[in-house]
Amino acid sequence: MFTRIDHVGIAVASIDDELPAWQERFGMAPSHRETVEEQGVEAVLFDVGENHVELIAPLGPETGVARFIESRGPGLHHVAYQVQDIDAVLAQLQEAGVQMIDTEPRTGIRNSRVAFIHPKSAGGVLTEIVQPAEGSH
């Protein structure tokens, strides 16, 4: 069902404030930066081997990520698994009674198709499934 870990999402208050530290401490250069209006976030990707770390910062105080930071502070926000056919996986998950936040895929970073699984069904961790756009990994 899941082919690999696609990325780990880390919530930060501000990309601009956080980015230099990641570059200086870990020598990581961002491979992609994008505003994803639909999810209310600005996101930056770092490549780590074939996988990624995704920093996400809220676009405004009413967004889910802003509420997350307000209640829990910055930190690990979600784990994302890659899938090949998100429609098939969504159907399988729903049939298995998994509690979904999204029952339909939405558009994620780099034109991927994504859906979120409720933490209640994934060990208390917000979980994302990602079908990358053709040609990206």
Contact 69, 60 (CB under 8 A): no
Please give the residue whose beta carbon sits closest to Zn ion in the complex.
Answer: 9
Q: Extract the tokens encoding 61.
A: 């105080």
The answer to whether 9 contacts Zn ion (rule: CB under 5 A) is yes
Binding-residue total with Zn ion (CB under 5 A): 4
Contact 12, 55 (CB under 8 A): yes
Question: If you search the block for the tokens 């999402």, which residue do you land on?
Answer: 9
> Which residue from 12, 19, 69, 80 is in contact with Zn ion, where contact means CB under 5 A?
80
Binding string, residues 29-68; x marks residues near Zn ion by CB under 5 A: -------------------------x--------------
Output the CA torsion 99→101→128→97 (10° steps). 20
The least distance separating Zn ion from the CB of residue 110, rounded to whole angstroms, comes to 11
